[in-house]
Amino acid sequence: MIRTGRRHLDRIAEVRAGRRPEKVRYPIRVRETRVVRTAMVGTGLLRVTLGGPGTAGFEAHSPIDHVRLLFPDPDGSLRLPEPDGDLLRWPRPAPVSREYTVRRYDPAAGEIDIDIAPHPGGLASDWALAAEPGAVVHVAGPPGGLFVPPAYDRYLLAGDITALPAIARWLEELPRSARGWAFVEVADAGEEIDLDAPAGVEVRWLHRGDRPPGTGGALARAVTGVEVPGGERLYAWIAGEAGEIKPLRRWVRDVLRLDRADHVVSGYWKRGVADFDDEDEHPHEHPHPRPHEPGPEH
């Protein structure tokens, strides 16, 4: 069940103290932010740090919280969603936007970190590469998050470079006693970054080499080689190119036989498709509440 209102922090605490993952809705806002700085994180991610008065009161409580960066239409006009209580009312057609994980929020500094995987011709990628300190960008969200209580025996995290910001935050926020695996497919060792993983979580970097992103099947081959001890409770979170993770949807369902609440397999992007929306293809598996319809969220 998704709940809203001022009690969302209490509800998050309740879910974290329980046994089953649940989605919790936050009051969603549109914020005007300014670029504070940009910096590469490894050779595969560009970190855009946003700040300014508009970040006051921002909330990001889940490691897979997402926001939408809002961009002008082709004619240069900027159309923003309007407040509607704790939700947003989106104009039609939907404004131009792209969705990204909140890598870090520092309320003391008033800073939000967004890590973007640069790629030729990407709208947000091109913007981030050219962004100078002081550049204005509007941010919508997060609309809420999925909360996974520390009630599992093991955790399985897997994804490509686009999922690395979320995996990094997952690893930071897992209990230090957690056990499991984290698989990350990157181009080469240059894209590997420092991760604060619990000692019991094995991190495996998979190098794609010269193969184009979203091809080759290395992630699925590696992940399906995991042997989960019998009788243990597993939580799995997997994200990446939609075609590459398709075999993992079947594996989680048919081999691991995980309950729906015990896993998320999410297509973050799809080769040849701009602003791909995985919820359109797999509405029951989408980990993020969408309380601000009409308008895109993934």
Contacts of 74 (CB under 8 A, 6+ apart): 96
Looking at the chain, how many residues does it have?
298
Is-cis flag, bond preceding 142, omega within 30? yes
> From CA 115, how far away is CA 104, in angstroms rounded?
9
Query: Is 75 buried (19+), middle (13-18) or exposed (0-12) by CB count in 10 A?
Result: exposed
Query: Is 201 buried (19+), middle (13-18) or exposed (0-12) by CB count in 10 A?
Result: buried
> From CA 184, how far away is CA 117, in angstroms rounded?
14
The yes-or-no verdict on residue 277 having pLDDT over 70 is: no
pLDDT score at 285: 54
The yes-or-no verdict on residue 265 having pLDDT over 70 is: yes
- Counting residues of the chain whose pLDDT is more than 70, the rounded percentage is 90
pLDDT tens-digit map of 220-256: 999 999 999 999 999 999 999 999 999 999 999 999 9
pLDDT band at 90 (very low <50, low <70, confident <90, very high): very high
pLDDT tens-digit map of 185-217: 999 999 999 999 999 999 999 999 999 999 999
pLDDT score at 274: 72
